[in-house]
């Protein structure tokens, strides 16, 4: 049964997994980066510490990073399922995960500066719903930390300063420039979620949704696959390195999606995910049975 | 890795250079946005002894309270330092701090403060909340917990072999400025290719 209690129980486990277990593809990318760096360099030391940290968090079921971020959640549901029930269950799961220290109390009243203490607040967690034809409810989320959120950016093309026109070459230019602006501040090596097109709201949402993709997947649109590959290669040539210490590992991945746009608008929206690319997914059957998704 | 004991002298701090990896052992204090603003608004007599000759760790930890009232750091990585750029040099010089631990580096005002007052910027690995929490051996006391909440309170902690890297020193060098300049040169080259 997909009841409030069942949803809450499943979501609590999902939050715990997301906060404490880094996905295998992200760990593999960090290991590859570690082996590329020069022996004894600060870059290699940083990646060694990161990998040690990832193991420790998993063993101890403790948060990988103390900034457990905003849970950003995408839900696919069949007709007739109450989205309010799912939302309320997720809020309760966030509160319970916070009480158990899987999450940090991370919601601060913007005017008073007072922390709600519960982990939830106005707009936190953030949920997006879409109805689909399947009987399952599928829930996927990322935990998006504040340091990396602060280096996200939105650009409108053309951008004369960078010689960036309204085409994929223009996209490449603004993205590489944004990566230089970010340096190591978003906790490099990071993954870029990028949306080309859309409006100022939908662009950010799509850029974050791209961060649900596995690092080794291939974009089904060939020109976007080529652009992802190129920005990944050139981004790593910038030499910013882990934590901005200098080095070969600046990016773990680049994921690009598109939305249609108004004729007058051409936005490129970038969300930066830190090295702790925390995500989790679950499929819940009508009977309440659960399949974990990678 | 070299070990550095806290409290630390100005001479020991001035002997450190960009690129040094060290492990810190001793007493330090946490403080981030609310704490820095508060420390500058007035001289805080009760906290001042906990700042003198040690370092401030820019960190908003996850903390567990034990049934006996004591606290344990559950996750404790550094937060982004640049937000404290307006305050840090003043806090450091006023309270006799010998350094900062954070991530992402800081700007020219802090760099000048490090040179003037004898301080160093230690970079901890961002996100390494478990490795760093395990180096926290004891929570001694806490200031402003009620007012600021868990992440923003000033936690006085004892650490052992807490791993950090010097990325800004008291000799005017900043690794962050150097990497930034080199990456901008490379960017020019990459963008000119298609120009």
pLDDT tens per residue across span B91-149: 999 999 999 999 999 999 999 999 999 999 999 999 999 999 999 999 999 999 999 99
ipTM (interface pTM):
0.92
Chain A CB within 8 Å of residue B137 CB: no
In chain B, the residue whose alpha carbon lies closest to the alpha carbon of A231 is B190
Q: Do residues A13 and A136 share a domain?
A: yes
Residues A14, A131 within the same domain: yes
Query: How many Å lie between the alpha carbon of B4 and the closest alpha carbon of chain A?
Result: 18
Is residue A191 a part of any domain in this protein? yes
Backbone dihedral region of A266: left (phi > 0), alpha (psi from -120 to 50 degrees) or beta?
beta
Residue A237 in domain: yes
A120/A10 same-domain check: yes
Which residue of A64, A66, A102, A241 to mutate against B (max B Cβ within 10 Å)? A66
Write down the mean pLDDT value for chain A: 97
Choose among A42, A53, A117: nearest Cβ to B165: A42
Q: Do B82 and A244 touch (CB under 8 A)?
A: no
Q: Does one domain contain both A98 and A197?
A: no
Q: Same structural domain for residues A284 and A269?
A: no
| Strand B120-123 versus strand B62-65 pairing type | unpaired
Q: Is B171 a catalytic site residue? A: no
Q: Which residue of B has its CA nearest to A242?
A: B125
Class of domain B2-192: alpha beta
Question: Does B37 contact A at CB distance below 8 Å?
Answer: no
Same domain, A184 and A267: yes
Contact A198, A266 (CB under 8 A): no
Greater confidence (A1 vs A262) lies with: A262
Q: Which residues of chain B make contact with A104, given a CB cutoff of 8 A? A: 60, 62, 75, 150-151
Q: What count of CB pairs under 8 Å joins A to B?
A: 168
Residue A257 structural domain: 147-273
Across chain B, mean pLDDT equals 95
Give the mutation candidate from A144, A243, A249, A275 for the B interface (greatest B CB count, under 10 A): A243
Please check whether residue A120 lies inside any domain of the structure.
yes
- Considering the domain boundaries, does residue A161 fall inside one? yes
Residue A94's pLDDT band, with cuts at 50, 70 and 90, is very high
Q: Structural domain tally of chain A? A: 2
Q: Please check whether residues A137 and A151 belong to one and the same domain.
A: no
Both A132 and A235 in one domain: the answer is: no
Alpha helices in chain A (DSSP H): 4-20, 24-36, 42-60, 83-99, 146-149, 168-182, 202-209, 222-237
* A96 and A109 together in one domain: yes
Nearest CA in chain A to B150: A105
Contacts of A244 (CB under 8 A, 6+ apart): A183, A184, A185, A188, B104, B105, B175, B176, B179, B180
What the block records as the tokens of B5 is 């004991």
Together in a domain, A13 and A126: yes
pLDDT over 70 for what percent of chain A? 100
A59 domain residue, yes or no? no
Q: Tell whether A34 is covered by a domain.
A: no
In a domain, A38, yes or no: no
User: Distance between CA B126 and CA B80 in Å, rounded?
Assistant: 8
Output the six-digit token pair for A168.
């994929």
User: B193: pLDDT confidence band, cut at 50, 70 and 90?
Assistant: low
* Segment A114-138, tens digit of pLDDT: 899 999 999 999 999 999 999 999 9
Q: Which positions ≥6 away from B3 have C-beta within 8 Å? A: B22, B23, B24, B25, B161
Given CB atoms, is B133 within the 8 Å cutoff of chain A?
Answer: yes
Verify that A140 and A283 share a domain, yes or no.
Answer: yes
Average pLDDT over residues A8-21: 98
Taking the C-alpha atoms of residue A142 and residue A130, their distance in angstroms, rounded to an integer, is 17
* pLDDT, tens digit, 9 for 90 and up, residues A138-162: 999 999 999 999 999 999 999 999 9
| Any A CB within 8 A of B93 CB | no
Q: Are A184 and A141 in a shared domain?
A: no
Are A177 and B187 inside 8 Å of each other by CB? yes
């Amino acid at each position: 049964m997909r009841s409030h209690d069942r949803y809450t129980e499943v979501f609590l486990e999902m939050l715990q997994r997301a906060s404490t277990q880094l996905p295998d593809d992200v760990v593999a990318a960090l290991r590859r980066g570690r082996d590329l760096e020069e022996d004894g360099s600060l870059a290699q030391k940083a990646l060694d510490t990161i990998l040690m940290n990832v193991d420790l968090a998993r063993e101890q079921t403790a948060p990988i990073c103390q900034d457990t971020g905003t849970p950003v959640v995408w839900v696919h549901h069949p007709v007739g399922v109450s989205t309010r029930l799912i939302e309320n269950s997720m809020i309760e799961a966030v509160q319970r995960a916070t009480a158990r220290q899987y999450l940090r109390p991370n919601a601060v009243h913007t005017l008073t500066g007072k922390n709600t203490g519960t982990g939830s607040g106005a707009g936190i967690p953030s949920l997006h719903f879409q109805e689909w034809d399947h009987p399952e409810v599928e829930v996927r989320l990322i935990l998006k930390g504040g340091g990396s959120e602060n280096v996200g950016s939105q650009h409108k093309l053309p951008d004369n300063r960078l010689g960036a026109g309204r085409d994929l070459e223009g996209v490449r230019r603004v993205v590489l420039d944004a990566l230089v602006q970010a340096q190591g501040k978003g906790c490099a090596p990071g993954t870029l979620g990028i949306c080309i097109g859309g409006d100022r709201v939908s662009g950010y949402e799509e850029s974050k949704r791209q961060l649900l993709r596995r690092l080794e997947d291939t974009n089904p649109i060939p020109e976007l696959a080529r652009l992802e590959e190129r920005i990944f290669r050139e981004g790593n040539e910038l030499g910013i390195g882990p934590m901005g210490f200098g080095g070969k590992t600046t990016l773990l991945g680049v994921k690009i999606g598109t939305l249609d746009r108004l004729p007058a608008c051409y936005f490129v929206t970038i969300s930066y995910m830190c090295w702790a690319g925390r995500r989790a997914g679950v499929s819940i059957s009508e009977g309440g049975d659960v399949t974990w998704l990678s | 890795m070299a070990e550095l004991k806290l409290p630390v002298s100005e001479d020991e701090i001035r002997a450190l250079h960009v690129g040094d990896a060290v492990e810190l052992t001793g007493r330090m204090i946490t403080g981030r946005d609310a704490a820095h603003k508060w420390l500058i608004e007035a001289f805080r007599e009760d906290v001042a002894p906990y700042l003198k000759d040690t370092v401030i760790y820019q960190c908003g930890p996850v903390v567990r309270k034990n049934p006996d009232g004591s606290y344990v750091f559950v996750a404790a990585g550094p937060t982004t330092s640049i937000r404290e750029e307006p305050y840090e040099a003043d806090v450091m010089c006023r309270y006799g701090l010998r350094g900062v631990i954070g991530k992402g580096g800081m700007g020219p005002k802090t760099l000048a403060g490090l040179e003037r007052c004898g301080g160093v910027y230690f970079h901890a690995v961002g996100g390494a909340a478990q490795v760093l929490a395990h180096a926290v051996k004891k929570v001694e006391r806490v200031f402003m917990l009620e007012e600021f909440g868990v992440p923003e309170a000033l936690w006085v902690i004892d650490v052992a072999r807490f791993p950090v890297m010097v990325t800004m020193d008291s000799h005017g060098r900043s690794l962050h400025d150097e990497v930034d300049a080199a990456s901008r040169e490379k960017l020019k080259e990459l963008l000119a290719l298609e120009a």
